[in-house]
Amino acid sequence: MKALALAAAFTAPLGSQLIDLNVAPDGAAWVRDEYSRTVRVAPDGRVRATELPDPAVASTIGADGQAWFSDGDGGLQRVDANGRVTAPREAGVARPESGFDLVAGPDGGLWSIASGETPKLLRFTPDGGYHETPLALPGCDDAFAVPQLARAADGAVWADDSSCNRLVRVDATGAVATIQLPQELAVTAIAPDATGGVWFSALDPVGGHVTAAGEVTLLPAAPSLGRLTPWAVAVAPDGRPWFATQHCTLLTVNAAGAIERRAAPIPARELAFAPDGRLWLSSLTRVAHADAPTNRCDDKRPTIKVKSSVSLRRGVRITVNEPGRLDVHAYPAGGKVTIDRTFTLRRRGSVQLRFPKRWKLERGDAVWLMLQARDRDGNAAIRDIKLRVKL
């Protein structure tokens, strides 16, 4: 079992980031990067990467068991297990309003929700057709700014409308029910249960459950969790919710309703159960089964060091203590011209950032740096630094 667990993992190339974990009926895990590549990891660990013709903004597993991707411009792409790409709907053709999540609908098609003053349900057919239906909802200025969708066991589609502190349930006929949540609750993800309801993860408390009838139950507060942040949720075959925390710890709920911790092999941001009950995890850089060895999990942030003064001629040296990716945004105080750089660090060390002559810097001038370093495991460190120029 340990050999299989070790094999069933994927690590993204240095500098790349993974998002949108989906698990297909065949037990394979699908993820995509922030550009235009999707990766399928089979249950036995075999990996297939496929380039998408158009960058995707959302993905799901369709009723046909294949991975589907939307591009935010009305286009749909489909990828099968062998990496074959088809485009049932071209981008920009009879463009519907953009939706920023995608889910398999109860009608065999794909559903999405478009934000706006009048939110709309978008229903795509497998051959590329689509239909828009305005959603009759109580008014909210920022409805579905960043919606998350989940298809329930009874065929309804749930949507997290966090900006309006509510969950929305849309059944197969398009009928809408709104479940208002406590004002202070910040939902981070939703996942269907086996009876038509959903579990949700949240920043405080850990999360909760909503039945198909709209009854809300919150999990007890867990102040002992410290920096563990429930970022995603998945429901096990036994009905228990599991939460990813962006650290080397998973959370679950025992039979008594108390929160329990489990060690994780990667600092998971997303998680999903396969039909056989095995749990897939994904971080910003890795995909693994939850039963993989946990002794090498790293959830420590990298460190960034910068001198407080900079040379007009040589610029500034930025040092990061481990390999990864460094994003730099720099601008002079009071200036409108900025520079943005991304560095791939294949080993721990330093990079030299020089400032453009058009900034016309003089001794004593201030320069602001906004830095983000991300290591091989996706852990991020952020620093905002004010520097003074010396000749």
How many Å is the Cα radius of gyration of the chain?
23
Segment 19-30 mean pLDDT: 97
Instruction: Give residue 93's pLDDT.
Output: 57
Segment 198-203 mean pLDDT: 95
Asked if residue 134 has pLDDT above 70, the reply is yes
Instruction: Give residue 2's pLDDT.
Output: 37
Asked if residue 6 has pLDDT above 50, the reply is no
DSSP 8-state secondary structure symbol assigned to residue 346: S
pTM higher than 0.85 for the full model? yes
Whether residue 367 contacts residue 310, with contact meaning beta carbons closer than 8 Å, is answered with yes
Segment 197-220 mean pLDDT: 93
For the chain, counts of helices (H) and of strands (E): 1, 36
Q: How far is CA 55 from the centre of its chain?
A: 15
Instruction: Give residue 94's pLDDT.
Output: 53
Residue 372 forms beta bridges with which residues?
327, 382
Segment 106-123 mean pLDDT: 86
Whether residue 246 contacts residue 272, with contact meaning beta carbons closer than 8 Å, is answered with no
CA nearest to 341, candidates 352, 327, 355: 327
Higher pLDDT, 3 or 215: 215
Q: Which domains, and CATH codes, for the chain?
A: 2-289 (2.130.10.10), 304-390 (2.60.40.1220)
Segment 238-248 mean pLDDT: 96
Q: Tens of pLDDT along 320-356?
A: 999 999 999 999 988 778 999 999 999 999 999 998 8
- Measured in residues, the chain has a length of 391
Q: Tens of pLDDT along 50-83?
A: 999 988 999 999 999 999 999 877 789 999 999 9
Segment 215-232 mean pLDDT: 87
Whether residue 285 contacts residue 305, with contact meaning beta carbons closer than 8 Å, is answered with no
What residues contact 283, with CB distance under 8 A and at least 6 apart?
18, 246, 266, 267, 268, 269, 377, 378
Out of 34-38, 107-111, 280-284, the most confident range is 280-284
Question: Residue 98: which pLDDT band, with cuts at 50, 70 and 90?
Answer: low
